[in-house]
Structures are given as structure tokens and as C-alpha cells.
Chain A
Amino acid sequence: MPFVRPAIVHSAIMPPAIFAHELTRRFDSFTAVDHINLAVEPGQFFGFLGPNGAGKSTTIKMLTGLLAPSFGSIQILGQDLFSNPVEVKRHIGVVPEGMALFGKLTAREYLVFVGRMYGLDKATAAERAAELLEFMGLANEPRKVIADYSHGMGKKLALAAAVIHGPKVLFLDEPFEGVDAIAAGTLKSMLQGMIARGATIFLTSHVLEIVERLCSHIAIIHRGRIVANGSLDELRAGVQARLTPGVEVDPNARLTLEQIFLNVVGGEAGVTHPEQELTWLS
């Protein structure tokens, strides 16, 4: 693709917050992630997009140590994930696909537990847990165990758990899925606050409006390969350049992320004009 940045350049002074080189994952004969290279600079709000089954979750699992790559290397904040896993994990927070909650604990117990496992002292963990519960709107049912939570409440709790230790790098796999609009607004503000204070966030989401509003840089993965990577403006320029020669497009119109995304993967993913398909639908 013309607008994939040709090489990963990272500063000798400040290493990338997230660096993946030739990252590959095969499941038997199927290659879910195929030699991808990523470099996310510190302080970036990085959106990682792709159609269903493109390899997003597999990538995020490898970057967080939940899945072993078949090939390639990963560095987080300049440290190798495989040789220093414990040290790396101290600095990252993750909302994984399955949320990794403990159903038999209450929200407060869970947050204190997570805080303690990240090395916070008891008082700090308890104080932050109380604050996060209040912030997430989960404080009013202290005796309820997590197994009885709705999906959206679980997501909020998972996000609270991911930030309780003040991570420098945050990996979020579909963090807004099932979260109500009010809570989503609160969470977005919190994440932007983290970015302002120097954190790096790696986000996957199918809600392109959210990604467009939050992320400064975006990569699109399709069939296991990175097909676009750069700032939103870079992607926009790349797609615009590709469209302009043959298609009638207003050169002054700003392409939305959805248009960019559909242009990059839409045709290849087999998306066709709806009026030509499924004509038996009313």
C-alpha cells in the first residue's frame, strides 16, 4: 500500500513505547498475523483497526504476553517482552478481550487484589479502588460480586483494573463495547487525560467515530498484514491520492475514518454495493 510508512524509524534517545518487529502468529496452516512491524511512539493514542478476523486481538494478545508469537520480537518501553516479562508488565495495563475478571470477588475486592498484584501497598490500592469505583459509577453496590455484573459494568471494571497501577502503556481491546454513552464519555476523557500526562494507549475498536476522535495515529490490519499505518492526516492523504485519479471526489472534502477504512479494506474484504446484493430483503 502506498501510504504504509516504509520503515520503522525510532529515536535513539527515546525508544518507542511499543515496538514489534516481524511479528507473526500461525495457527496450524493459518497465518493470523503475518510479519507485521509496528512502532508506537510514547504519548501516542494509537488506533489499531481491522475487519473481523483480521488479526487485531491476536496482535494485542502477543503484545501483552497472552499469546506466544510464532516469529518476531516485541519491545515495550525499550525492554524485550520475552526476556523481561515481569518488568515490562509492571508498566502496562490491559483490558483484554475476555476482560479477565474474577467472578467471585466484589468490584472493590477485585481492584484491591489487582493493585496489590501490581505491587501497590494495601492503603494505596484501597484508596485508588474506591476512587476508581466512584469514577466509574460502580460504587453503589459494594456487596455485588462481579459474576452478577452486566457486560458494560464488567468493561468499566476491567478498565479500572487496567489503570489502577498508573501504567505507562495501556492496551485496550474493544474498551467501549457495551458501555453506555455517558460512561463512554467519561472514559474517553480519562484516556485523553492519560495521554496528556504522557501515557501511550494502544486501542482496538470497531467504533470508527471513537477512534477518529481519540487517536492521533492509526494502523489498519487486514488478513494479518498491516495495510495502512500513519497519522490520520497521512492516511487521509494516501487514500485521497489513490481516489483522485479515477474517481470524482471533492479534493477539499475531508475523508472520514470510515471512508478511509472502507477504501483500504472494503473492496478487498468483498464488500459490494448493497443494492446489487440480497435483493430479497425488504
Chain B
Amino acid sequence: MAELAPQSRRPAAPWTGRQTRAQFAAIAWLRWRILVNSLRRKGRVGELIGNIVVYLVSASIVVFLVGGAGVAAYYLAGHGHLHRISWMLWGIFILCQLLNIQLAQPSTTFDPTQLIRFPLRVDTYVAIRLFFGLLTPANIVGTLMSLAVAAGIGSAAPALWTYALLTLAVFAATNVLFSRMVFAWVDRWLATRRAREIFTGLIFTFSLGIQWANFTFNPAYSNSHTHHTHGISHQHIHFIITVYRRVRPLLAALPPDLTASSLVAANQAAVASFFAYTLACALFAAAFLTVFALRMRTEFRGESLSDAATGVSRKAVRPAAAKLAHSTSTPAAVAPPTSSSSFGVPSVFVTMLGKELLYVRRHMGILYGLIMPIFLVIIFASKFAARSNSIWIFPTAVAYTLLAICPLSYNSFGFEAEGSQFYFLAPVRMRDILLAKNLFNFLLALVEIIVIFGIISYMTGMPSLQIAAAAMFWAAGTLAISSIFGNRRSISTPKKISSQRMANKQTSKLNAFISMSVLVISAGTAAVLFGICIGFHLRWALVPIFAIFAAIEIGIYIHSLGSLDQFALDHREELFTELCKQS
């Protein structure tokens, strides 16, 4: 080693293009390794199977979407409806943006802003950041669909093949650049927790609005049995047409319509118009790239975002005072072995319930999951208010509510992340912690069901008390069974949940599958029993049957708690490995 030449004594050589290319190669390698490593999971066969199933289903959906886009384009081009391609392109554009929001990006395991510490030029940094975001699932799907549209048009009208490929390639690039631009700025806006919460709230409000619009305007949900609703009313149609006419000129100047117009122009042999429209679309792409580059340039200069940056305490720290004497180790200071709250409930339950309530209040994702069933019950109840067979509404609403509540028990420590270590350090039993968490889920379900009962009673008349009681027993039993699986899965296969990402991307796929299976099997069994009892006029038997089921299930649940302490000790390493890892 002593023979190494003292190279640093020489003046530094100028930076070369070869070194820049080497940087790109290193980034490409990094991107590839992140992808490969993200597929590697140690010792989790179940999770691997879950991932394979999800990937296969996702691939099937992508093939369907891409194939569907190609076939639809082929049909429209072949039947002289080329101008209607714009509808498809708007669909692709919106789908691409929605998928970008919904699908986790592999690159989230790495913060690309860290790259500024390397000797990069600003243009290289911009190019690298652009490259990092290109291979998201959403962008791949959007680009493939755009190319499928080109292929469909080229197959139906071979003379348009070249034109279609060119203009749709520009469209695909515009689409991708738009999402890169938006997400670069969204990252900046969401640098603070408060902004993230507001944004998440807006997304959820939008999502609820979509649900409302779907139920209101979709003819599939119209109630043909009643005389006062007949699918989409004339007023609705008139309203939609008026809005469409107002925004039509604006839409015509945007990339999907410009692309469609260029195709129509090419079909009419107006080559100059084709290029003019395509160029206009390309200008949008250039504008998006410019705005993206401006953001990246600011990032490159080392702007510091996040809440922690402002977190310096302004108060001077007091010198060590003797005031803390009581809390720093005198034998008398140690807390008594047990302490109870005023109603005789162990303080660990009360404390845990209070903590869980704070977490729910501060997590928009959970709140959304709780609000959604109530919102949909309001819509459903208003739709089916006049139906005679409204007997199923309350049990169905209860089942739908459990769809949101049951998965919570499958990742009980996900929100607490490294904080979960505390439960192993504190003088508490894991059995009590999980019992408190399960109890909180039971209480959430109870509140939800009571609210839903009230809404249905107000809008469609009070459900039969027998049906309501049977549904409540079913819910209690199902939650108990779900918690048995959920408690163990929470410990053995936890998933860290970051507040910066939406919860639905951060649950184990296998856990989601188990949770759904338990619920489906339980609901299916209950539906059969309901059907038999009602079909054979044995409605009186519903309550005792479901009460017995619930008692058995709760009994099994209580029995299962006995082994949780040992199970937690046996699996604490898996728990900490996942929950204490860096985000």
C-alpha cells in the first residue's frame, strides 16, 4: 500500500465527458440494483407468493389495458371515428396520473436528492432525476398504451402508421414529462407534514367525490324499481353537456386533443397541420421539461426542506438542575407494580386506547377508511330507500365497514415503526398491548356500526332488531377471528408505514389477502345462514345462531391471547428488522 502514487499532488484533471457518462452508467446500475434488491425478500415464502400473485394480476391488468387500447384504436380508426381517439388519450392521460399516485415507486427506497453531494453538473443532475422517474409502473403503462394506440391505428390504416407512431410518441413523452413535473413540485409542496395532511385530505375528498359521482350518474346504480329515479335524469345529461361544451375549446388546446387533431389532419393528408399539432404537443412537453428542470435546479442548489430543518429549539437549555431528583432513580421513585384507572380498568388499556385514538386522529388514511363506509352507506341508503327488500342493507353495510376495520389488526405496529421497541422495553405484556389494540378496533367498529344504524334508520327505516343484533354478533365474531390471525401477522410480518406515503401501499400483500379471505369466508357463511333463516321463516333463529358463533369465536380469540407473549418474544427480531429499518 505504501507504493501508491501520490496522485493528489498533481493538479486535478478537467472533468471529461467520459466521466459524465460513467456517472450515468453508475446511476443506471444503481437503479437496476434497487429494483433487483427490492424483489429480494429473506425467508418470507408467503410474502413471495403474495407478490407473485399480485404481479401476475397486475400484469394481466396491464395486458388488458394495453391490448384494449390497441383494439379500441383499431376500431375507431377503422370505422372513421379518428377524432374520438382524443377520448382514449384523455383516458390514458388521467389513468397515468392516477396510477402515479396509487402505485409505489421502486425508487422510494432511495432519496435521489442525495445525489447532489457528487460532482454533478446541473444539467446532468436534471437528466438523472428525469431518468430516475421514467421507469415507474404508471409511466410504463401510459407509454405502452400510447404505443398500442399507434399500433391499432397503423393496423387499421397502414398509411397513418408513421404519423401515428410519431405523434403518439410525442404524446407519451408529454404525458411522462407532465407527471415528472407535477410530482417534482408536489414533493416540494409536501415537504412539511401539515402540507402532506392537507394534500392527503384533498385526495380523499376527491376520491369521495368520484364515488358520489359514480353512484349519482352511473346508470348501473340507478334504481329501476322505483318511480322517482330513472338512471341519469335529463337535468343531469343537460348539465354534463353544458359543462362539456364550455370546456371543449380549452380541452382542444391540450395534448390529448392536439394529438387526436394531428391524427385527423394526417388522415386528411394535411401534413402541415399534422406537424403543427404535433409541434404544439411537443411544446407542451418542452414546457413541462423546463418547469421540471427549474425545480431540479433549485434542488441542486441544496434547498433544505422538511419540518426538522426548522426544529431547533429556541429556548436556552437550563443548566442541570436538581429539580429532577424525584424522577431520577431513588428507589421510591419507581412506579408501583400495577396501577388502575378510576373504573378499575388496568391503566395499560386506558393508556393504549388513548394513544391509538391520537394515532387515528392524526392519520388521514385511517380516517378515510372509517369515513368511506359511512359515506357509501348514505349514498346506498338514498338510492335504495324505496326498495322493499332493504333487509340486506344493514348487514351489507356492517360487512363493508369491517372491510376497513379488519386489516388494521394485521399491521398493528406499522404506524409506530421503531416505537414498537418500546413495548418490549416497558414492563407490559404483549398480550395486553395487542388486546388493547384489538379492543380499540372493536370500539371503532362499534361506533361505525352505530352511526350506520342511525343513518339507515333515518333514510330507509329502522332495520329489524333481530337482523341488526345478528349482524352485530356476526361482526364481533368476525373481528375476533380476524384479530387472531392479525395479531400474529402483525408480529411476524409487520410493515413499516411512513406518514409520507399512503397506507394502502404499505401493507403486506399476503396479509391483505388473508384479511380479505377471512372476511369473505365469514360473510359468505353468514349470508348462507341469513338466507336459510329468512327463506324458511326462521328469523327468530338468527340471533341465537350468530350469538353462539360469536361466543365460540371470541372464546377462541381469548384462548389465543395466552400464547402471544411467547410468540412476540420468538418473533421480535423480524418485527424490529422491518420496523426499525431506515425509510
Which A residues lie at the B interface, using CB under 8 A?
Answer: 64-68, 85-92, 94, 96-105, 109, 113-121, 128, 131-132, 134-141, 144-145, 147-151, 153, 161, 163-168, 170, 182-183, 185-186, 188-190, 193-194, 197-199, 276-282
Question: Are A90 and B427 neighbours in the complex by a CB distance under 8 Å?
Answer: yes
A-binding segment of B3-11, B282-290, B510-518: B3-11
Q: Which residues of A contact B246 (CB under 8 A)?
A: none
Question: Are A117 and B426 neighbours in the complex by a CB distance under 8 Å?
Answer: yes
Q: Does B351 contact A (CB under 8 A)?
A: yes
Contact flag A148-B308 (CB < 8 Å), given A86-B429, A89-B426, A102-B419: yes
Q: Which residues of A contact B329 (CB under 8 A)?
A: 163, 166-168, 170, 194, 197-199
| CB-CB contacts below 8 Å: B179-228 with A | 193
| CB-CB contacts below 8 Å: B298-336 with A | 306-308, 311-331, 333-336
| CB-CB contacts below 8 Å: B491-537 with A | 499
CA A138 – CA B362 in complex, angstroms? 21
Question: Are A135 and B323 neighbours in the complex by a CB distance under 8 Å?
Answer: yes
Q: Name the residue among A68, A85, A117 with the largest chain B CB count within 10 angstroms.
A: A117
Question: Are B320 and A183 neighbours in the complex by a CB distance under 8 Å?
Answer: no
A-binding segment of B83-91, B100-108, B264-272, B568-576: B568-576
Q: Which residues of B contact A161 (CB under 8 A)?
A: 422
Question: Are B327 and A104 neighbours in the complex by a CB distance under 8 Å?
Answer: no
Question: Are B327 and A164 neighbours in the complex by a CB distance under 8 Å?
Answer: yes
Q: Does B452 contact A (CB under 8 A)?
A: no
CA A140 – CA B312 in complex, angstroms? 10
CA A194 – CA B320 in complex, angstroms? 12
Pick the residue among B193, B328, B338, B425 that contacts A166 (CB under 8 A).
B328
Q: Does B47 contact A (CB under 8 A)?
A: no
CA A276 – CA B417 in complex, angstroms? 45
Contact flag A194-B348 (CB < 8 Å), given A119-B337, A168-B334, A282-B9: no
Q: How far in angstroms is the closest Cβ of chain A from B531?
A: 43
- Closest 3 interchain pairs by CB? A189-B320, A166-B333, A199-B329
CA A164 – CA B427 in complex, angstroms? 13
Q: Which residues of A contact B421 (CB under 8 A)?
A: 66, 96, 98, 100
Q: Which residues of A contact B9 (CB under 8 A)?
A: 282
Q: Which residues of A contact B429 (CB under 8 A)?
A: 86
Q: Which residues of B contact A119 (CB under 8 A)?
A: 335-339, 347, 427
CA A189 – CA B355 in complex, angstroms? 32
Q: Which residues of A contact B317 (CB under 8 A)?
A: 135-137, 182-183, 186
Residue of B nearest to A91 (CB): B334
Q: Name the residue among B5, B312, B313, B576 with the largest chain A CB count within 10 angstroms.
A: B313
Question: Are B499 and A117 neighbours in the complex by a CB distance under 8 Å?
Answer: no
Pick the residue among B350, B355, B499, B572 that contacts A66 (CB under 8 A).
B572
Q: Does B252 contact A (CB under 8 A)?
A: no
Q: Mark B412-433, 1 if CB is under 8 A from A, else 0.
A: 0001111111101111110000
Q: Does B359 contact A (CB under 8 A)?
A: yes
Pick the residue among A101, A116, A144 that contacts B418 (CB under 8 A).
A101
Q: How far in angstroms is the closest Cβ of chain B from A17?
A: 11
Pick the residue among A90, A141, A193, A281 that contacts B313 (CB under 8 A).
A141
Q: Which residues of A contact B328 (CB under 8 A)?
A: 163, 166, 190, 193-194, 197, 199
Pick the residue among A85, A121, A170 that contacts B339 (CB under 8 A).
A121
Question: Are B5 and A105 neighbours in the complex by a CB distance under 8 Å?
Answer: no
CA A102 – CA B579 in complex, angstroms? 12
Question: Are B325 and A102 neighbours in the complex by a CB distance under 8 Å?
Answer: no
Q: How far in angstroms is the closest Cβ of chain A from B436?
A: 11
CA A183 – CA B418 in complex, angstroms? 24
Q: Does B539 contact A (CB under 8 A)?
A: no
Q: How far in angstroms is the closest Cβ of chain B from A89?
A: 4
Q: Which residues of B contact A183 (CB under 8 A)?
A: 317
Besides A67-B573, A163-B324, A280-B6, 17 more A-B contacts (Cβ < 8 Å) are: A85-B427, A86-B429, A89-B428, A90-B337, A100-B419, A103-B499, A105-B355, A114-B422, A117-B348, A118-B427, A119-B337, A135-B321, A139-B315, A168-B334, A186-B318, A186-B319, A278-B4
Q: Which residues of B contact A134 (CB under 8 A)?
A: 318
Question: Are A166 and B8 neighbours in the complex by a CB distance under 8 Å?
Answer: no
Residue of A nearest to B2 (CB): A276
Residue of B nearest to A153 (CB): B311
Q: How far in angstroms is the closest Cβ of chain A from B564?
A: 14
28 example contacts (A-B, Cβ-Cβ < 8 A) are as follows A89-B426, A90-B334, A94-B425, A98-B580, A100-B421, A104-B362, A105-B358, A109-B358, A116-B348, A117-B348, A118-B427, A119-B339, A131-B324, A135-B323, A137-B315, A137-B317, A147-B499, A149-B311, A168-B329, A182-B316, A186-B319, A194-B328, A194-B329, A197-B325, A198-B330, A277-B1, A279-B1, A279-B5
Contact flag A68-B572 (CB < 8 Å), given A120-B335, A131-B324, A197-B325: yes
CA A194 – CA B326 in complex, angstroms? 10
Which B residues lie at the A interface, using CB under 8 A?
Answer: 1-2, 4-9, 193, 306-308, 311-331, 333-339, 347-348, 350-351, 354-355, 358-359, 362-363, 415-422, 424-429, 499, 569-570, 572-573, 576, 580
Residue of A nearest to B355 (CB): A113
CA A185 – CA B318 in complex, angstroms? 10
Question: Are B339 and A120 neighbours in the complex by a CB distance under 8 Å?
Answer: yes
CA A109 – CA B358 in complex, angstroms? 9
CA A64 – CA B314 in complex, angstroms? 34
Pick the residue among A117, A163, A278 that contacts B428 (CB under 8 A).
A117
Question: Are B427 and A68 neighbours in the complex by a CB distance under 8 Å?
Answer: no
Question: Are A144 and B311 neighbours in the complex by a CB distance under 8 Å?
Answer: yes
Q: How far in angstroms is the closest Cβ of chain A from B365?
A: 12
Residue of B nearest to A140 (CB): B315
Pick the residue among B193, B325, B422, B580 that contacts A147 (CB under 8 A).
B193
Q: How far in angstroms is the closest Cβ of chain A from B401?
A: 24
Question: Are B6 and A102 neighbours in the complex by a CB distance under 8 Å?
Answer: no
Q: Which residues of B contact A153 (CB under 8 A)?
A: 311, 313
Pick the residue among B313, B416, B427 that contacts A102 (CB under 8 A).
B416
Question: Are B351 and A165 neighbours in the complex by a CB distance under 8 Å?
Answer: no
Question: Are A102 and B320 neighbours in the complex by a CB distance under 8 Å?
Answer: no
Question: Are B422 and A132 neighbours in the complex by a CB distance under 8 Å?
Answer: no
Q: Name the residue among B2, B312, B570 with the largest chain A CB count within 10 angstroms.
A: B2
Q: How far in angstroms is the closest Cβ of chain B from A144?
A: 7
Question: Are A98 and B8 neighbours in the complex by a CB distance under 8 Å?
Answer: no
Q: How far in angstroms is the closest Cβ of chain B from A197?
A: 5
Question: Are A150 and B308 neighbours in the complex by a CB distance under 8 Å?
Answer: yes
Question: Are A279 and B427 neighbours in the complex by a CB distance under 8 Å?
Answer: no
Question: Are B418 and A104 neighbours in the complex by a CB distance under 8 Å?
Answer: no
CA A147 – CA B359 in complex, angstroms? 12
Residue of A nearest to B418 (CB): A98
Q: Which residues of A contact B355 (CB under 8 A)?
A: 102, 105, 109, 113
Q: Name the residue among A99, A103, A150, A281 with the largest chain B CB count within 10 angstroms.
A: A103
CA A282 – CA B4 in complex, angstroms? 12
Q: Which residues of B contact A116 (CB under 8 A)?
A: 347-348, 350-351
Q: How far in angstroms is the closest Cβ of chain B from A278?
A: 7
Contact flag A145-B362 (CB < 8 Å), given A132-B327, A193-B328: yes
Question: Are B334 and A167 neighbours in the complex by a CB distance under 8 Å?
Answer: yes
Question: Are B313 and A138 neighbours in the complex by a CB distance under 8 Å?
Answer: yes
Question: Are A103 and B419 neighbours in the complex by a CB distance under 8 Å?
Answer: yes
CA A105 – CA B351 in complex, angstroms? 13
Question: Are B335 and A186 neighbours in the complex by a CB distance under 8 Å?
Answer: no
Q: Which residues of A contact B417 (CB under 8 A)?
A: 103
Q: Which residues of A contact B331 (CB under 8 A)?
A: 168, 198
Question: Are A135 and B324 neighbours in the complex by a CB distance under 8 Å?
Answer: yes
Q: Which residues of B contact A139 (CB under 8 A)?
A: 315
